[in-house]
Amino acid sequence: MPLFKTSYDTTVGKIFDMKKLDLSLKEALITGSLGYRRLGVEKIDQCAAVFVIGGPDENNIPPFIHPYLIQNYKGQNYLISDLRLFRPNSREFLTEREFELNVRNKTEYGLSKSRAVLNLLWLSDSVSSLRTRFSFAGSVFATWLSQAIARAYALDFQEQMKVTAVGMYYYYSLFTTETRLTDSALETAVIHTIKTTKIPASEVYSLFEGLGEIKGIEDYCNEVKKVVENVRLRDFNLAMLLTLVRNTWYGTNSKDLISVALEHPPTWISIVYATATERSYKSSMLYKIVELQAKRGNGDEFLMNYKSLMKETVVSFEDADNEIVFKDFED
């Protein structure tokens, strides 16, 4: 499967026309200070995460939802995120430090910033590290999809476990350019599938051997229909899947984030962390799944790894109050 570099490279993300945005961002990189506005995020390789926060040189930039990648521009790569939605109520332009100290909606601001950090790492040589450190997110992903599908199509427990297994295989396929899992990638998927579903190893291997090539979310939908062999799923496709999952989580631009997260692990991992740690998401369907999976293990490890990764990558400003707070699971 192709590695989807950003949310705009995914099946759903490709529907956006980015020509005007691309031009306006390049103009801002030339005429203003956008290229240096990193909010403490360390540059990785030749790529810098930079942020639109409403400077005077950014008035012509249209609003955009996902981190946008500009490659090899003046010899530099830029991953650009729009944070103007969280801009404090001020008529004057704020410095980076002032912006972060007074930001509106700290919950979603933290999600947006950490999402940019994960996407930056995704563009480097850290893909396998993200897969290993955040395997908990894979279990949540597979369970999340299988529960939504099973509920809508009245599947029995065994059928739901098969859908979970397909979801696990698909999730790990997102971390490789191959269309089939082999060697260590296959073994990793098998191990986590057994742990999540309790399906015997021989059955997991047999199920995975029968799967076709995975090139994107539409292939996942087709494999679910093939594996379950239930006539009720005959019309199951991507459009139906989007309908089933878009209301399982909420927040600003939640439907857009959930849609691209189906093919973009950095977005998904950041959503799982935010859901696990922020009270505002506690009544969502996704929170219940995160909570259940956390009780089965790896939840604390996931949180610890997430916090550690952010501390390694984000340099805080001098004022301690400016630092993003990474919480533990809510009681």
pLDDT, tens digit, 9 for 90 and up, residues 200-224 = 999 999 999 999 999 999 999 999 9
- Cα torsion 293, 298, 302, 304 to 10°: value is 130
Identify the bridge partners of residue 79 per DSSP, sorted by sequence position. 49, 69
**CA 122 vs CA 5, 125, 178, 236, 305: distances in Å:** 7, 7, 17, 30, 15
Q: Residue 321: pLDDT above 60?
A: no
Q: Work out the mean pLDDT of the chain and round it to a whole number.
A: 92
Per-residue confidence (pLDDT) for residue 329, from 0 to 100:
52
Give the model's pLDDT for residue 322.
35
How confident is the model over 168-189, as a mean pLDDT?
Answer: 96
Count the neighbouring beta carbons within 10 Å of the beta carbon of residue 301: 14
Is the pLDDT score of 192 beyond 50?
yes
pLDDT at residue 327 above 90?
no
pLDDT at site 328: 56
Q: DSSP class of residue 4?
A: -
Supply the pTM of this predicted model: 0.93
| Rounded Cα–Cα distance for residues 134 and 303 (Å) | 9
**What is the structure's pLDDT at 318?**
34
End-to-end Cα, the chain, rounded Å = 38
d(CA 317, CA 285): 36
State the pLDDT at residue 319.
34
Whole-number Å distance between alpha carbons of 246 and 256: 8
